[in-house]
Amino acid sequence: MTSSPTRFLLVRHGETDWNRQGRVQGHTDIPLNDLGRAQALAAADVLSSAEPTRIIASPLGRAAETAAIITEAIGGPAVETEADFIEMQYGEAEGAVWQDIRHLYSDGVVPGAEARPAVLERSTAALRRLAAESTGTVIVASHGGVINGLTRHTTSPDEFPGSADNGSITEFAVSGSDIRFVGRTRIDAAVNVEA
């Protein structure tokens, strides 16, 4: 008998001031802003019937706070931390404006940056390991680099739904070594918050 796949709901953390400014964050620990907290609450509303068996967060504050807001709102289990869901390390590019990256690093090499395949390798390994230890639904608060990498890996170019917005929820089903993209729920970025 085959066991049911574990359902993973990956939530991209809410907005930070650096997201708003179009800056590269990576491992730089920038906190959520008011809109980011509202996005986390809006995600919690969507997740209210998910009945997670585990809630996991990247060790960075913006993901941990997103997970804490969701847990408090839905009455979920205590938040666990998983380092393999941390954002990609962007090295010298952290703090730069995204639109300047091509000019600053025209050869595509950013000193100190983590390779995208390494991010994918650690995040897929974490999903498979957690699927082997977990049942039901697992909520993971993570980052755009991780979520977009997993989504690109599990979809064809025609199926790729675009980059994950802050607060969006991307669903994967994981069974053994198989990771399958299920879909994405976008959170209304116009949650009524004064910026």
From the list 82, 87, 94, 114, the catalytic residue is 87
Active site residue 87: yes
Q: In what order do the strands lie in the sheet with 137-142?
A: 79-81, 52-57, 137-142, 6-12, 169-175, 178-185
Residue 127 CA to its chain's centroid (Å): 12
Structure tokens at 140: 């993971």
Q: Are strands 52-57 and 169-175 parallel, antiparallel or unpaired?
A: unpaired
d(CA 114, CA 160): 23
- Sign of CA pseudo-dihedral 151, 39, 46, 62: positive
Active-site residue flag, 171: no
| Burial class (CB within 10 angstroms; exposed 0-12, middle 13-18, buried 19+) of 167 | buried
Which residues carry out catalysis? Answer: 13, 87
